[in-house]
Each structure stands twice: as structure tokens, then as C-alpha cells.
Structure 1
Amino acid sequence: MRSINGWILVGLTGVAPGPASAQVALQPVTVYAQPAATAPTGFDAYKIWLISRARREGVREATIQTSIPSLQLNNRVMELDRAQQPQPRTSNFMAPFAPYRSEHVTSSLIQRGQTRFAEHWPRLHQIQTSYGVDPAVLMAIYGHETSYGAITGGFDLLQALATLAYEGRRRDFFETEFLATLKLVDIGVPRWRLKGSYAGATGYPQFMPSVALRLRADGDGDGYADLWSNEEDGFASIANYLRDAGWKRGIPWGIAVRTPATLDRAAIRSFITAPKCAKVYQRHSRWLTMAEWRALGVMPYAGRPIPNSELVTLLEPDGPGATAYLLTNNYRAILDYNCSNYYALSVGLLADAIAGR
């Protein structure tokens, strides 16, 4: 018995049984026995797992069969993800806000935002009436996320998300987003539309697929929320997101202020640990009313007035002596969109510039 290329060869030789007079010599015979099937490994095995999960989640079989078996790992996605993994911090040094602001609140973004703002104003006004969200903030997020629709990402979402889930750094998160993408296909979003960033953000609002499923909104009244080719649906969807995150109608996001040299920062320190993005919120003071901040000598430079009874927190992105900001709960709704103080500040400042405030 021997094996060639995984097949078992059995040689049969000898004499046929029976009476001696009837015995016939047998010639050597080779019988090929097919080996046992090899179980899938690696990404092929993971795709089988994704198929089983999709079935349990109620995804249509046709969507499963046209979407999962042909998936391949995307090496570029893995490279980009590994490059973004957080590095251990060796100090408490925080980069200054000014360079970030210069990059994300540019004259080009302001001018293009103002043009789009004027073009879409009738629909933006309707969206503001419906959702209560400042339309300039919607435009600023649109500009910040995609440069007003110019950069929405070209990665195939299913391939990118399956790759990230398989890689395993945040498997539960990316696997959930992969399944949400299949559900978008199930409700009629064309497979070819589902492109975005390497990390899965998609469409004009740059929503993750699970958010797109839950909070997409119809902004132009045609009965369909198209996040990939309809800007007004994109604006309404961003407004729906911010309202869901706690946006308060008629209140500014925040205001630039100057702080007095006598401000006792130990007395205004917050001891609350946020349930998420704790390091971001660590930089905020405790909540005080606008009137209480004025009494402490914290004075606005300019901008939309915040009611004296409104609770706000102080953020000093560049430390004592530099421009600081008093921030309302609406700032925290922007943080929910992207949990970075510099992101949220730049969105607010870009919005004010677009609206001419």
C-alpha cells in the first residue's frame, strides 16, 4: 500500500480462489481510494462561520450565497488597520489644537460649505424644523467627513469588514457591521453601492452599516433614504443621528471664551468617569451654568449667546492662557458622532464660519 498525491494505492496480486484446475492467475490491479475531505481552514473556515451567523440573523439565503462565498481577504485593509492601532503613550503631552484647526477649518472648506449651504437652504430649513438640529452643523460634518461628497471611500464594505473581523482585533464589532451590511442588501441597497472607508464607514454621512440601518432618513420627501447619492437624505440622516444622540433644539454647540488668571482649576475639576471615551471627557470641567461661569470671570469672545441657565463645561485644548471653550450638551452630540475633542471643536467652528456667525 502506498500513497501518491494524497490518494491511497492498494495493489492486488495472486491467484483466484477455487479448485486447482480452475485457478486463474490474477494480474496486479491498482485500486484508487479517495482520501477523506480536508476541513476548511483560515479565511475559508471563517466564511462558513459568517454564513451560519447570517442565517441565524435572518439574512436572505440569496444574499448570503451571492455575497459571502466569493469574498477574499484584503491585505490593504489589514495594513491600514494595523497602522491605526493605538500606540502606548509615553507622556501626558497633548498636541496643540491650532494645527488641527488649520487643517480642518480651511478657507476652501468654509467657502464650499457656504455655497452648498445656500444651494440647499430650503431643504436644510425643513430638516431643521423637523429635527431641531443646527443646519450649519450638518453641513460642517458633511464637509469634515467627505469634503462635501468628494471622498466617500472606495473599499468594498463586505470584503473590508470580513477582513477586519477575521483579523480579530475587534471581531465582535466588525462582524456585527458585516451582518448589518448584508441586511442593507436585503432591504434593497445595491451591492455595488456598498463602498466606503477601509474601516466600514459609508455614504455621505460616513455611517457604519448598523447606524445606516437604524438612523438613515429621507430628506427630500421621496420616501427613500439614499445615503450614497442624495445629499439631502444625507443631511437628514446626520440630523437624525444628532437628535438621537441628545441634541437640544435652539442651543449652540459652544462658544469661545477667555479665562481669568485667577481661575481655580482644581475647584472646577470633574470627578465623573464617562462610560465611553473616558480620556476625551477627562479634559472637560464639571458642569456649571453659564451664569456661574460668568461669575468666575470666564467671558465669551463673541458668538451666539448661551442662556444663563444652560449647563456647560469648560475645555482648554491648549491649556491655561489660550482660547478656551464653554460647551453645551450639543457638543457632546457631536462627540457621539466622532469621539475626539479636536474633531468636535473643528466641526463647531466650521459650522459657525459657514453660517457667518
Structure 2
Amino acid sequence: MLKILRAGLVATGIFAGAVPAMAAQCGNDGSGFAQWVQDFKRQASANGISPSVVEKAFANVSYNRETIKADRGQRSFKLSFDQFMQKRGGQAIISRGKSMKKNNAALFAAIERRYGVPAGPLLAIWGMETGFGSFMGNQHTLSAVATLAYDCRRSAYFTDQLYAALRLVGRGDLSPSAKGAAHGEIGQTQFLPANVIRYGADGDGDGHVDMVRSRADALASTANFLVGHGWRRGAGYQPGEANYNAIQGWNAASVYQQAIAYIGARIDGE
């Protein structure tokens, strides 16, 4: 799922105060990427990011053509609801989601007590995003984010994401070698770095927000994201109900919103 479509993602400029007026020069192909990296590294260090963190984070960064290809080829959100459900395996997500809810009952009960978000929409998102953690992406995360920060199409937005990724590296919550989705989405429910900073929750109590290895962290963070986008405890989440707005915050594509609401309701037994 392409997170750029999320209406409720961190707005461009959340880290903009850290970016100097003379920003690294964006480009529309890979020819200027190496120079851009050098310029950005100097800027990041000048803006308070530890030079050692910058060097560690950029050690294996390269221009990611798969990221650019994915960014230019977003088609599944134009499908009808039935087509989308078929393409994304909606019925299989419902079936497995019911089992996952039963097998993780204590975890979902704890999340609902804390955030007021029931299991259904969380399982719908988890299943839709990564097949319940079975595939979280194979693209080098920092390369993906850096490539999109360099690319002129949404340079400012992804520069914010890149600063967030550096903060995550600095605090030990993102490995420089981490892999994820093509736009730099991280973990079991696919958060962009700035959303990990803003909504990341330590669901398992170990002192870190590990979106990859900890399902408790990933699901608590997802619930926290929904709360941050207006989720109201006890309200419904179908179209026209109060919490549907929070689902719209997760992704701006209407067919995706409808799928989350439909799948979630059937997992929750509605």
C-alpha cells in the first residue's frame, strides 16, 4: 500500500525548521544523487544530527530505481471495491484475521482498553499491509526514503521523512540495514518514519518501538495513529459513522478505506 495517499500522514514541514534555506538540489534521475547525498549529509550534521549517525545511516544508501518505479505506477487504488478486494485477498484476510484475533486475544484486549480501538480494523490494516507480518518489503529503507527526498516530485515531504529516519537510527529504533516497502514504509503495519516518531508506541514495554519484530508495538502504534486521527472510543467505524474519519486518515484512497471498514467489521463479527 502506498502511504503517500494517506491524508492524515505527517504534513510536509514537520521537520522543516531543521532544513536550511539552501537545501540540497533535487533531481529527476539518478545522475545527481551522489552529490545530493554529500550535500544532505553536511546539512543534516549542521542541523543537529550526530555526524556518526549520519555516516552510519548513509553507509549503504544508493539511488533506488525500484522506489521510483513504484512511485510512478500506482494503479490498484483505481479499482472498484470488488476488484480491490479480490486483488488484495480480502476474504483470506477476513478468515485469517478471525484466527489471529482469537490467538492474540489478550494483546487485542489490552490495546482496546488503552486506546479504545477494537481488533477488527487493526487486523484489517495488518492483513492488508503485510499479510500479518509475512512480507514487510525487500527494499532498503534508507535508500528508498533518500531517493524520494532527492526526487523533485515530493522532495520536501520526503526530506521530512528522511530526517525522521535519521532520528530513528539515532535512538536505535531503525537499523541502517533495515528493509521495507518501496516508499520507506517500516514494519508490520507499514509506517513512514515520521509517523513512527509521532505515533510509535511501545506496546510490549521493552523501552523501544520496534515496528518490525514486535507485533505488540506495531499494533499499538496503529491504534495510536487512529486515535491521533480522531478515533472515538465506542463509536462505529463504518462509512458515515464517527470513526470512519480516522480510517480515512490512514489512507486517502476511498477503496482502501472501504476495504478496511468492511474487513474489520467481519472480523469483529458485525
CA distance in 2, matches of 1:56, 1:329: 44
Counterpart for residue 47 of structure 2: 57
CA distance in 2, matches of 1:95, 1:43: 34
Query: Secondary structure of 1:169's match?
Result: helix
Q: 1:54 to 1:107 in 2, by over 3 A?
A: same
Highest relative contact order (Cα 8 Å, sep 6+), 1 or 2? 2
Counterpart for residue 340 of structure 1: 253
Query: Secondary structure of 2:182's match?
Result: coil
Query: Secondary structure of 2:204's match?
Result: coil
Query: Secondary structure of 1:342's match?
Result: helix
Question: 1:139 aligned to 123, 143, 148, which one?
Answer: 123
CA distance in 1, matches of 2:207, 2:41: 32
CA distance in 2, matches of 1:249, 1:232: 20
Counterpart for residue 9 of structure 2: none
- Does 1:239 find its partner at 2:223? yes
User: RMSD of the TM alignment (CA)?
Assistant: 2.1
Give the deviation of 1:48 after TM superposition: 2.0
* Residue type at the aligned position of 1:150: S
* Residue type at the aligned position of 2:224: N
Number of residue pairs aligned between Structure 1 and Structure 2:
239
- Does 1:328 find its partner at 2:241? yes
C-alpha distance after superposition, 1:73-132 (max 9, x if no partner): 1222222223339xxxxxxxx854222233346332112111110111112111101111
Q: 1:354 to 1:223 in 2, by over 3 A?
A: same
* Residue type at the aligned position of 1:197: A
* Residue type at the aligned position of 2:164: A
TM-score scaled to structure 1, two decimals? 0.63
Q: How does 1:114-153 map to 2 (within 5 A)?
A: 114-153=98-137
Give percent identity, aligned residues only: 31
Q: Which structure: larger Rg?
A: 1
Q: How does 1:1-357 map to 2 (within 5 A)?
A: 42-68=32-58, 70-84=60-74, 96-104=80-88, 106-192=90-176, 194-254=178-238, 326-357=239-270
2:81 and 2:259 in contact (8 A); partners too: no
TM-score scaled to structure 2, two decimals? 0.82
CA distance in 2, matches of 1:95, 1:42: 36
CA distance in 1, matches of 2:191, 2:46: 24
C-alpha distance after superposition, 1:291-334 (max 9, x if no partner): xxxxxxxxxxxxxxxxxxxxxxxxxxxxxxxxxxx412311101
C-alpha distance after superposition, 1:203-239 (max 9, x if no partner): 1120100101121112223333211111111110000
| Structure 2 alignment gaps of length 5 or more | 1-30
